[in-house]
Structure 1
Amino acid sequence: MDVIPTLPSLYEYYTAGGITSGLSVDQPYFTLNNRNISIYSGAMHYFRVPKEYWRDRLRKMRAAGLNAVETYVPWNLHEPHEGVYDFGHGGSDMEQFLDIEEFLKVAKEEDLFAIVRPGPYICSEWEFGGLPSWLLRYKNIKIRTSERTWMEKVTRYFNMLLPILAMLQFTRGGPVIALQVENEYGSTTQPGVFTPDRLYLEELRSLMKNHDITELLFTSDSPTNYGDAGTLPGILFQTANFAGAPEREFDKLKQLQKDKPAMAMEFWSGWFDHWSEEHHTRNNDDFNDVLNRILRYPASVNMYMFHGGTNWGFLNGANIEDSSTDNRGYQPDTTSYDYDAPLSESGDYTMKYVMVKTLLSQYNQIKTRIPQAPAISLKVEYPNLTISQSLVFNEIISRAPHKIPSEKLLPMEFLPINNNSGQSFGYIVYRKEHVEIPRNTTLLIKGRVCDTIMVLVDGVLISKPLTKSADLKDFGYWKWKNSKLNLGMTDRKDATLELIVENWGRNNFGKLNQFVQFKGLWQGGVYLNNTEIFDWEIYPLEFKKSWNDNLEGWHEVVDPWMPGPGLYKTILTVKEKHDTYIDMRGWTKGIVIVNGFVLGRYAAIGPQQTLYLPAPLLKVGNNEIIVFEHFYSSSKLRFSRLSVPIFSTPSESPDVIAI
């Protein structure tokens, strides 16, 4: 009887006889430890996925035939306040998502190599492209250049990060086979304004080398759009980012670096959503066709994203659709980063997953052991909950952790809080007491709001609620410059004026002059009937877990007779923890907080209507759920087994399947 030989694991195949070399591009094809390899990688960001699910998602990737996982590294989470670090044990609100060392070790245990893109800038539809907002406190800093202050901050951060990555390199027995030097740097090109700074690239490269990074160093850009502007020709390996036309991009790469292998560092599997847009999907047949052409070329590939995950809390990024620097073209991203990827936001299989598995089994000439695809997680629809308690806005502001007197308006980044690192996320409230407001008073806000504003007089909302996308063109949003609002027909003496400004996410991509990312009111003054107001009280509302968990004074919900901001609380009691979605249809705009953790944003204007709530964020027993609603609250909190975006056509419903 013949015995069927057991296939080796990926690591057994590539490390048999010992490790003598890493990933090589010294010939027209990749070799790893002197053995031929085609890289079949997928992007998954550890900070977008609960730690408890890392292994599940990685095993699903390996089961599809992938041999590598690619991840970015977000500086703004790992150094949330200047000089304060969290790599999984630092005590920040995102601590449970940040153990990159553990993530990479699990990747190896699941028989995957790793490609790491450490920044300092990552784009990634992530808040400020992964940069910490406290950098903006340095007046003359020039991000992503060789300017001294910027490089001092990058160097200090890399001195913490790179030793972790160095010890996990392939040639030291770890999973990391390649690291990126900067990210899409060619896209910063502005003829006559800015040329990518190659001294900066060399300084980043030297930083890595000085920390004993010996694996392959690369850059990624669109070769046809930017050539080799964003790399160090002949020194750094160049890869391509694109959605289609792979032959054109790879042919250009071959011209730029002769006798080297071709690789797509970002082959876009789908796309992301901005608030108020239709939900984006990528046609499955088109995805399959382009991936087939990549593999047939032949080229290596990293699918961006393979598993998108979630922009937790306030961590979504944004785009600026034109060359403006004053916020007029602002487009904030949704909390969901599902991306229409092969694995859905909650880790379910889609038709793209089947297509990837089928194509890789056809093209991969190196046969290694592939695990069975794990079962998908159970999704449950918990019973509807009644909102039982609330706090009105006056009660919220009285519990604010800081009250900062200031003669003039300040952006949130300049507030003297968080070890003098300023405020990164959430809301900032500008409050002025003892104001005389005659009837028909006009409120004027010079410049543009960054990004939304609610105007309250004596606790009553005067500005218009956001109930439909067209409202974004009215007062209260970034599209207006020097916006005006009539404060009503009532004479008010000794009134209190409150301006609640939301940071809806900082721009993460564009030209370098679009990274002026101050949030709040800072482009001009605030006027009542052409008289500027001074001497404000400023309250940062960051919704940190320590504050959320200790809110007191809850009372029965008073049925509101007018719209306005407030906190609403209910309790979810569970005997078993399962994944679910919170269905926010019936609410208007705001954030949801689960057990003190800010889960994400919601808005009736869509496309996202549900918030993914993974089981690890719940606990057996009572779970406190708080909603900060800007306008119209609901009396109920509902759940769903499925993600519910607003679809443009019925054919765009999710194609989640069983494997």
Structure 2
Amino acid sequence: MYNILTFHFVLAFASCADLPTLYEYYTGDGVTSGLSVDQPYFTLNGKNITIYSGAMHYFRIPPQHWRDRLRKLRAAGLNTVETYIPWNLHEPRNGSFDFGSGGSDMEMFLDLEGYLTAAQEEDLLVIVRPGPYICAEWEWGGYPSWLLRDENVKIRTAEATYMEYVERYFNTLLPILAKYQFTNGGPIVAVQVENEYGYSPEIDKEYLQQLYDIVKNNDIVELLVTSDGASSGTSGTLPGLLFQTVNFGGDAATVFGILEGLQPGKPLMGMEFYPGWLDHWTDVHHTVTDNDFKNNYEDVLSYPASVNLYMFHGGTNWGFLNGASIESSDDNSEFEPCTTSYDYDAPLTEAGDYTSKYDIIKELVAQYNPVQTLTPEPPALVERQAYPDLPIDGQLSFNDIVSKTTSIPSTMILSMEQLPINDNSGQSYGYSVYRQEGLNITADSTLTITGHIRDTVMILIDGVLISNPLSSSDDLNNFGYWRLDNSTITLTTSDLTEVTLDIVIENWGRANGGLFYHQLKGLMDDNHVYLNDQELTYWLIYPLEFKKSFNNELSGWNSVEDGDLPKGPGLYRATLTLSDDITDTFIDMSEWNKGLVIVNGFVLGKYAFIGPQQTLYLPGPFLQPGNNEIIIFEHFKPASAVKFSKDTIFNTP
């Protein structure tokens, strides 16, 4: 029996080794054509193909782990990887571009050409979705916040100023993509024009036509597509010019039946098929059962149709880049910020681990794919460990922090985006401090901020926190948060003279969907601030952006005695000293309250004890031999140590 089993194993291995790679199969005789939809099934270079794709966003994955994640996708039997392209990262300042060497804080994630090259070298085709709007549960759906500085700009329409910005960006981006098209010897087989435009409250077909013309004028010759929910009909596309795909999570027969009616005689494809779902803060961590996923995925494959799993690997909303939802109101009252983790209950976890859904995909694709090509063995897991607990070894008070920034005097309220900084591109992320100096405040005085806060607020007098700390998710209905209209707080029970009042406003993420068009942060024109009945008008505004250049120059740390950790916003430092045993890890923030974590100058992400996320993924490549500085900006109440975990933790207190 042993010899027979060994013989069959050797035969199977030899058979597998004799298989062509994906590129050998589709390009071995030269390339004459790309992805075709001129018949009821896809062909690539004249050969039948079913697209088995998975979404992985290069900007959500440590670049040092790109190949690990791509190889895992290919090892599952998938033949294509899909990615969005975020405008806000590639043009962080008006007219300044970064594709991996532009000097922005996210520079290391932005080597788009490197990602496309890696995908092809890992034997994968690529679908790119460059927007200009991408949604993606990403900050403002991928739009750069400096667009908000011009009141005339009307995004997602043919309005002239907006289109000038779009054309400038696309004229920079699209020549890069053109080099990597399949018919030019690269991996890109399809390019999406706009994104889920059928959901837009104002449909502008001239806008879509102008986008189409810009794309074609930049020598994009591969298949051009759109994606929408089936209920959108053809409102988000240009029939005859753009190939239509659908986004859905189940009931494939109904969805594809509708698509067949809209686009008869064409192949069927789900551009977004959801194996999991995203989390907002205060949610219970979303999961989809293996049984539901398997049944729904098999319904797609057996229909038969091509499909892109959104997400195959979710990754992380680094720094300040999480999106949010605003469903039916544009006044911020229904704001729901997304968590830093974009785990998505996907087949690969945030840290790249395999899940049971991965095995389901591998099994079903092998069963349904009639084209057999060589696939790699699934790579070993990336090593992780829980480092020892670290004591807090330094602190900076809120006044210490503000003293390291430069104020902007203003006779009126200015939003974050309107501040004259960053080459007049305004402030995109972080916190804005609105300061009044030399105030006399009588006992029982109240402070009122009209409208809805965007998004959280802390009130300090002479550097001491006056507003209440976050104690439960119910507090989001009280002063300090966006749900209240016309927030009021009592400042003092005794007379105060010549004091400094600080209003600290946090941008917790611009909405990526719903009624997301009006996304100014900080205090806006329609916010008025009253001390009792007197409106406060003259401000010193301090932008707290927590950029790398600022974080790496922090100094003057105060020593920490046992128990000497004050309440209120402040910075807290710990030092992780490593030799050469450096691996991925998670920072366990469950004993802290709310804030953000900075590692070696890079803002890793936001945390909040209200959950569901309790840990922050820290890739090993972000660490170095020797000392690693971990800084935490805590809003309310610090813990006494920085702790680590080998695995992610989700729970809702």
Where does residue 362 of structure 1 map in the other structure?
A: 367
CA distance in 1: counterparts of 2:317 and 2:480, whole angstroms: 24
Where does residue 411 of structure 2 map in the other structure?
A: 407
1:126 CA displacement:
0.2
Where does residue 221 of structure 2 map in the other structure?
A: 214
**1:196-223 deviation digits (Å, cap 9, x = unpaired):** 1111111111111101000000000011
Where does residue 391 of structure 1 map in the other structure?
A: 396
How large is the RMSD of aligned CA atoms in angstroms?
1.2
CA contact (8 A) 2:565 2:638 kept: no
CA distance in 1: counterparts of 2:183 and 2:514, whole angstroms: 36
CA distance in 1: counterparts of 2:571 and 2:565, whole angstroms: 16
CA distance in 2: counterparts of 1:645 and 1:364, whole angstroms: 36
- Of residues 605, 611, 617, the one that matches 1:600 is 605
1:647 CA displacement:
6.0
Query: Aligned ranges for residues 571-582 of structure 1 at < 5 Å?
Result: 571-575=575-579, 576-582=581-587
CA distance in 1: counterparts of 2:539 and 2:413, whole angstroms: 7
Where does residue 3 of structure 2 map in the other structure?
A: none
Query: Aligned ranges for residues 254-653 of structure 1 at < 5 Å?
Result: 254-321=260-327, 323-400=328-405, 402-511=406-515, 514-522=516-524, 523-557=526-560, 559=563, 563-575=567-579, 576-646=581-651
Where does residue 156 of structure 2 map in the other structure?
A: 144
CA distance in 2: counterparts of 1:269 and 1:84, whole angstroms: 37
**1:132-185 deviation digits (Å, cap 9, x = unpaired):** 000001111110111101100000001110000000000000000000000000
**1:324-372 deviation digits (Å, cap 9, x = unpaired):** 1110000000000000000000000000000000000000000000101
CA distance in 2: counterparts of 1:252 and 1:437, whole angstroms: 65
1:118 CA displacement:
0.5
- SS of residue paired to 1:288: helix
CA distance in 1: counterparts of 2:142 and 2:560, whole angstroms: 39
1:609 CA displacement:
0.4
- SS of residue paired to 1:359: helix
- Of residues 30, 48, 60, the one that matches 1:18 is 30
CA distance in 1: counterparts of 2:241 and 2:548, whole angstroms: 45
CA distance in 1: counterparts of 2:423 and 2:402, whole angstroms: 22
* TM-score normalised to structure 2 length: 0.97
- SS of residue paired to 2:514: coil
**1:554-602 deviation digits (Å, cap 9, x = unpaired):** 0112645752000000100112210000000111000000000000000
* TM-score normalised to structure 1 length: 0.96
- SS of residue paired to 1:556: coil
- Of residues 71, 92, 96, the one that matches 2:104 is 92
CA contact (8 A) 2:455 2:482 kept: yes
- SS of residue paired to 1:573: strand
CA contact (8 A) 2:282 2:652 kept: no
**1:252-299 deviation digits (Å, cap 9, x = unpaired):** 110001100000000011001101111111111101101000000000
**Percent of pairs identical after alignment?**
59
CA distance in 1: counterparts of 2:106 and 2:511, whole angstroms: 21
| Partner AA of 1:604 in structure 2 | F
CA contact (8 A) 2:396 2:558 kept: yes
CA contact (8 A) 2:571 2:634 kept: yes
CA contact (8 A) 1:54 1:103 kept: yes
CA distance in 2: counterparts of 1:256 and 1:534, whole angstroms: 56
1:204 equivalenced with 2:211 (yes/no): yes
CA distance in 2: counterparts of 1:66 and 1:574, whole angstroms: 38
Where does residue 175 of structure 1 map in the other structure?
A: 187
Where does residue 657 of structure 1 map in the other structure?
A: none
1:379 CA displacement:
1.0
**1:28-86 deviation digits (Å, cap 9, x = unpaired):** 00000000000000000000001110000000000000000000000000000000110
Where does residue 188 of structure 1 map in the other structure?
A: 200
CA contact (8 A) 2:283 2:652 kept: no
1:467 CA displacement:
2.0
CA contact (8 A) 1:234 1:257 kept: no
CA distance in 2: counterparts of 1:386 and 1:289, whole angstroms: 49
- SS of residue paired to 1:555: coil
CA distance in 2: counterparts of 1:49 and 1:303, whole angstroms: 17
CA distance in 1: counterparts of 2:551 and 2:396, whole angstroms: 12
| Partner AA of 1:544 in structure 2 | K
Structure 2: gaps spanning 5 or more residues: 1-6
Structure 1: gaps spanning 5 or more residues: 649-659
| Partner AA of 1:179 in structure 2 | V
| Partner AA of 2:24 in structure 1 | E
CA distance in 2: counterparts of 1:278 and 1:488, whole angstroms: 37
CA distance in 2: counterparts of 1:57 and 1:302, whole angstroms: 16
Where does residue 655 of structure 1 map in the other structure?
A: none
- SS of residue paired to 2:513: coil
CA distance in 2: counterparts of 1:596 and 1:123, whole angstroms: 28
1:29 equivalenced with 2:32 (yes/no): no
Q: How many residues align?
A: 638
